[in-house]
Structure 1
Amino acid sequence: MKLQLQDIPRVKTITKEDFIKHYYKPQKPVVIERFIEDWPAYSKWNLDYMKSVAGDKTVPLYDDRPVDYKDGFNEPHAKMKMRDYVDLLKKEPTRYRIFLWNILKEVPQLQKDFSYPNFGIRLMKGLPMLFFGGEDSYTFMHYDIDLANIFHFHFEGKKQIILFDQKQNKYLYKVPHSLITREDIDFSNPDFKKWPALQHAKGYTTELNHGEVLYMPEGYWHYMKYVTPGFSMSLRSIAKRPKNLSKALYNIFIMRHFDNVMRRIKGQNWIDWKNEKAITKTNNYLKNL
């Protein structure tokens, strides 16, 4: 048995009018296959190029270890020079990923390799972020704290994507006071005996290839697994729907700080309570179906 996933629609290219009408307004994901072929990045950006322009930069690394109460919000698990990290990616599978790396700040010359596309919505031009991963490394199922509209541009290799909208929360074993589901769920091969509610969740899937762009609507849950070593860049636009914007403000200004306070006060007991609550709340909903 598998997750109920439909393929994300694909188009070769798209006008801003069609994007707004068919994907942005109805808040549906789409993959645009040939939108950035005029960017210098399309032909230049690969792991070797990143090593050549940013090799001496120290980069923050994350792996798939469970959240620990001592970890700060988005605190890296390790650090490494970019040249050494690229060598590691090419040498062997590694769980280490680069997450939310601001290229405007770290390597300004990379700005010359891309432009901000006109999709008909205003993009936040100060926040182009890069994400790197090794073979079989993955991000936990999560949604972004600001519930932004995200355009995810992939470079080198293949990346498996699974998406759910916020309507599926009740089936996903969402951890309270956080942005993640239970971290011990393998969304690429879920155990339905252990996580029976997942059978009812309806989502989307695709594999991203070099130069393709994925649009993820506001607040979409996303699980991303690197089939091969590679990297992506995300551009974002703030949530426009009032419900999502208010939730984003709550997450940023209240939820995040409340969670950090509770970690300091209760330690690992707080993490354990949240993880247990994710199961009991989801199972209670399942009983009432």
Structure 2
Amino acid sequence: MSQPSSPEGLATSSCPTADQVSAGNTLWADIRALLPNTKEDLKLDFSEKVEESVISLLQQARDLLYGAESLCSGSTRETCLQVSEIIIDYSWEKLNIGTWRDVDKDWRRVYSYGCLFKVLCMCNEQGSIADTIRICDMGLLMGASILDNILVRIINVLQKHLTYGKRSAEEDTKEGQRKKIRNDHTTVPSIKSEEAIPRLHCPSLEHFRENYMIPTKPVILEGIVDHWPCMKKWSLDYLRQIAGCRTVPVEVGSRYTDEEWSQTLMTVNDFIDQYIVNKNSIGYLAQHQLFDQVIGRKYIRLYSPQESENLYPHETQILHNTSQVDVEDPDLVKFPKFERAAFQACILTPGQVLFIPVKYWHYVRSLDVSFSVSFWWL
């Protein structure tokens, strides 16, 4: 039997899921409060580049959502879910034809609306909140902002209702094995005194600017991020808890010049489980960089721009700022001039911040499971 709509015009729910019960039966009410009051307020304005048939599907999904019959009705929810998935599938094809910069923003908005309608259906069915968050993330990553960034606001609500279970003994054992494998294969390089990057404790901004930034000299800054909450809070377990179910873009591979290097979308949990890897290519940026070490240690080498010829940059324009040399195992027959390339080095530990001047070549290798935060500016 159908139920009347709420006073605001949006279909209500009287059949909470298991997740909703554990969260005090308030999830759908919290989500509903983020939506426009009536279907007329949820405007679907698109350019002529979006076919009428697609707009009709968007309107159908919206009308089902705001209809008199509750989404708790199995048939209504299933129909809305099917329409949403058709919208997602069709707009996904539009997003993946040609280059990304040529994708019309309206098709990105269509994709986000498809994700929104699917999420609203999922909030009313037996399912995982983590799966619902994943759909929101896909809308954010591949789509465009809609309804005052509603997908972000929905994620904020969903995360409040998300419960975090303890890791199983099997998962803990596997994590321990991964750490042991990484540590067993990690060598800590020795650094000669003449190669060591200088250190500076809590300099004034003026001193740093005049003595290091303007003359473009690398330096390790100490004591300037000790107050950051992440220096005390961050750990693998903490990152799993606050962001483990979030979907993010990930670069997979030890170096981006390798054939197997790729980019993919995955959850933070999957990334931690599968791809805590070293970055060991060498390249430079056209910006100054502050490289802040938060967890673990990294071995870093810096080469000045004057050493560029000795580093054998790739000849292609897209990789002109990347060296062909394997820094710690160079082929000196193929790259003989690399042997005379002068460098500075350090082992960066938690709480230290490395200033990497513009166009300085930098090589980074993790010595532990490690996390860093970088800032760039011109």
Query: TM > 0.5 between the two?
Result: yes
How many angstroms does 1:209 deviate by?
A: 0.7
Structure-2 residue corresponding to 1:264: none
Against the structure 1 CA distance between its residues 204 and 197, is the aligned structure 2 distance closer, same or farther, given a 3 Å change threshold?
A: same
Letter in 2 for 1:17: E
Kept in 1, the 8 Å contact 2:191–2:345? The answer is no
Letter in 1 for 2:266: M
How many angstroms does 1:13 deviate by?
A: 1.9
**Residue 63, structure 1, aligned to residue 203, structure 2:** no
3-state SS in 1 of match to 2:343: strand
Aligned residues: 184
Against the structure 1 CA distance between its residues 66 and 83, is the aligned structure 2 distance closer, same or farther, given a 3 Å change threshold?
A: closer
Which of 321, 324, 335 matches 1:195? 335
**Residue 181, structure 1, aligned to residue 323, structure 2:** yes
| Counterparts of residues 252-263 of structure 1 (less than 5 Å) | none
Pick the structure with greater CA Rg. Answer: 2
3-state SS in 2 of match to 1:215: strand
**Residue 82, structure 1, aligned to residue 222, structure 2:** no
Against the structure 1 CA distance between its residues 14 and 220, is the aligned structure 2 distance closer, same or farther, given a 3 Å change threshold?
A: same
Letter in 2 for 1:204: Q
How many angstroms does 1:3 deviate by?
A: 11
**Residue 225, structure 1, aligned to residue 225, structure 2:** no
Which of 219, 227, 233 matches 1:30? 219
3-state SS in 1 of match to 2:211: helix
Against the structure 1 CA distance between its residues 3 and 41, is the aligned structure 2 distance closer, same or farther, given a 3 Å change threshold?
A: closer
| Counterparts of residues 1-289 of structure 1 (less than 5 Å) | 6-59=195-248, 60-64=250-254, 67=257, 76-88=262-274, 96=275, 133-134=276-277, 137-144=278-285, 147-176=286-315, 177=317, 178=319, 179-182=321-324, 185-238=325-378
How many angstroms does 1:38 deviate by?
A: 1.2
For residues 192-214 of structure 1, the C-alpha deviation after alignment (integer angstroms, 9 at most, x for no partner) is 34421012211211011111100
Deviation >6 Å, runs of 4+: 2-5
Kept in 2, the 8 Å contact 1:46–1:155? The answer is no
For residues 208-238 of structure 1, the C-alpha deviation after alignment (integer angstroms, 9 at most, x for no partner) is 1111100001111111001111111111111
* Alpha-carbon distance in 2 for matches of 1:207, 1:170: 26
3-state SS in 1 of match to 2:195: strand
Kept in 2, the 8 Å contact 1:51–1:82? The answer is yes
How many angstroms does 1:158 deviate by?
A: 0.7
- Which has the larger share of helix? 2
* Alpha-carbon distance in 1 for matches of 2:373, 2:217: 20
Kept in 1, the 8 Å contact 2:255–2:279? The answer is no
- Which has the larger share of strand? 1
Kept in 2, the 8 Å contact 1:149–1:237? The answer is yes
Taking every aligned residue pair, what percent have the same amino acid on both sides? Answer: 29
* Alpha-carbon distance in 2 for matches of 1:67, 1:223: 14
Letter in 2 for 1:85: F
Letter in 1 for 2:231: Y
Kept in 1, the 8 Å contact 2:282–2:361? The answer is yes
Kept in 1, the 8 Å contact 2:295–2:370? The answer is yes
Structure-2 residue corresponding to 1:267: none
* Alpha-carbon distance in 2 for matches of 1:157, 1:209: 6
Letter in 2 for 1:77: Q
Kept in 2, the 8 Å contact 1:47–1:230? The answer is no
RMSD: 2.5
